[in-house]
Amino acid sequence: MIGSFLFVIVFVPFMLLFYLRKHELWKEEEFEEKYGSFLESLIPERKSALFYPIFFIVRRVVIAWQGVYMGEYFLIQIHTLYGMTLLSLFYLISFRPFEDDLM
């Protein structure tokens, strides 16, 4: 439990700051070889595209945490997952962070 919260509290802000500070390097080949898998299929011109992989990681940590520690609170799990899915949907419709325009 403590490990997952430490991950979210320490790693996610570090990752966000790292990619925002290196935004101008996103298009360079050397940067893409080292760190490109995190930004794959995202539009490099948009800083808002960085939110999607970070939200994806946070969402997975919350899902895992709920599965392990909140097994008895089914309605809270449903409402949390529903809310996070809606938030993700609103983000995808509003910012369209991917190179392929499927929506």
Inter-residue contact 98 to 42 (CB < 8 Å)? yes
State whether residue 42 is helix, strand or coil: strand
Reported as a single tens digit per residue, the pLDDT across 43-101 is: 877 888 888 888 888 888 888 888 888 889 999 999 999 999 999 999 988 888 888 77
pLDDT at 1: 62
Q: How far apart are CA 61 and CA 36, in angstroms?
A: 22
pLDDT at 80: 92
pLDDT at 17: 85
Strand partners, 42: 98
> Does the pLDDT at position 39 exceed 60?
yes
Distance of CA 6 to the CA centre of its chain: 16
For the chain, give me the number of helices (H) and strands (E)? Answer: 5, 0
